[in-house]
């Protein structure tokens, strides 16, 4: 049994979870949100995954879910484990794991600001990058970046001579686009 198989076996033995091999030094395990801290603590204390590499987040807007990915690393075996979990997008609350790793605080604050996921007991939750942010968290898929940019920033002088490609071509060819077709033109 190699190192990866050993980890897969132990995770299965302890939590009844199927970890999947992603490549020669990466594992992925999908975990229920209530079990995340237990799995992480087990990985850290029992299997030597001392380092929290990153916490990442994906907005699965069609599924009405957020996905959180905890990436932990074992410096001895050079193996990475990705712990995936999905939480409800309508009520985005996730357990705070800064008791396991202090530095989780930074990632959690970032995720709170960019995706609007709350971590109860988060230290300095409101202090991060965005100042006086009034909008929806900007990394959510339904945040309209273009509309925000349009509203917030002025156009730099010198941009008036912008041209539209479709109109330019129509000028050249004499094509007359009927009104009923316009709704399918590129914005």
The residues of the shown chain that bind other proteins, judged by CB under 8 A, are 145-146, 149-150, 153, 155-159, 161-166, 168-170, 172-175, 177-178, 180-182, 184-187
- Residue whose token pair is 């994906």: 58
**90 versus 181: smaller Cβ distance to other proteins:** 181
Q: Report in angstroms how near the CB of residue 78 gets to other proteins at its nearest.
A: 22
Q: Report in angstroms how near the CB of residue 112 gets to other proteins at its nearest.
A: 21
Q: Report in angstroms how near the CB of residue 157 gets to other proteins at its nearest.
A: 7
CA–CA gap between residue 114 and residue 121 (Å, rounded): 18
CA–CA gap between residue 52 and residue 74 (Å, rounded): 9
**1 versus 181: smaller Cβ distance to other proteins:** 181
Question: CA 14, 17, 19 angle in degrees (round to 5)?
Answer: 110
Q: Report in angstroms how near the CB of residue 147 gets to other proteins at its nearest.
A: 10
User: How many Cβ atoms sit within 10 Å of the Cβ of residue 123?
Assistant: 12
**124 versus 184: smaller Cβ distance to other proteins:** 184
Q: What single DSSP character describes residue 41?
A: H
Phi/psi at 54 (5° precision): -170, 155
Helices 36-45/3-15 angle, 10° precision: 140
**91 versus 145: smaller Cβ distance to other proteins:** 145
Tokens of 9: 């076996």
**142 versus 187: smaller Cβ distance to other proteins:** 187
Q: What single DSSP character describes residue 98?
A: T
Q: Report in angstroms how near the CB of residue 167 gets to other proteins at its nearest.
A: 9
**50 versus 58: smaller Cβ distance to other proteins:** 58
Sign of CA dihedral 177, 182, 186, 187: positive
Q: Report in angstroms how near the CB of residue 172 gets to other proteins at its nearest.
A: 6
Beta bridge partners of 19: 29
């Amino acid at each position: 049994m190699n190192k990866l198989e050993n980890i897969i076996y132990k995770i299965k033995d302890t939590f009844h979870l199927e970890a999947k091999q992603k490549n020669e030094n990466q594992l992925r395990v999908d975990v229920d949100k209530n079990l995340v801290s237990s799995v992480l603590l087990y990985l850290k204390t029992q299997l030597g995954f001392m380092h929290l590499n990153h916490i990442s987040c994906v907005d699965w807007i069609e599924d009405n879910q957020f996905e959180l990915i905890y990436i932990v690393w074992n410096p001895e075996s050079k193996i990475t484990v990705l712990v995936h979990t999905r939480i409800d997008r309508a009520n985005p609350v996730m357990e705070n794991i800064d008791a396991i790793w202090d530095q989780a605080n930074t990632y959690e604050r970032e995720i709170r600001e960019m995706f609007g996921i709350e971590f109860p007991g988060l230290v300095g939750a409101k202090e991060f990058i965005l100042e006086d942010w009034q909008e929806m968290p900007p990394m959510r898929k339904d945040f309209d970046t273009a509309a925000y940019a349009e509203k917030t920033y002025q156009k730099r002088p010198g941009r008036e001579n912008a041209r539209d490609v479709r109109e330019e071509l129509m000028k050249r060819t004499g094509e007359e686009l009927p009104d009923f077709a316009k709704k399918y033109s590129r914005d």
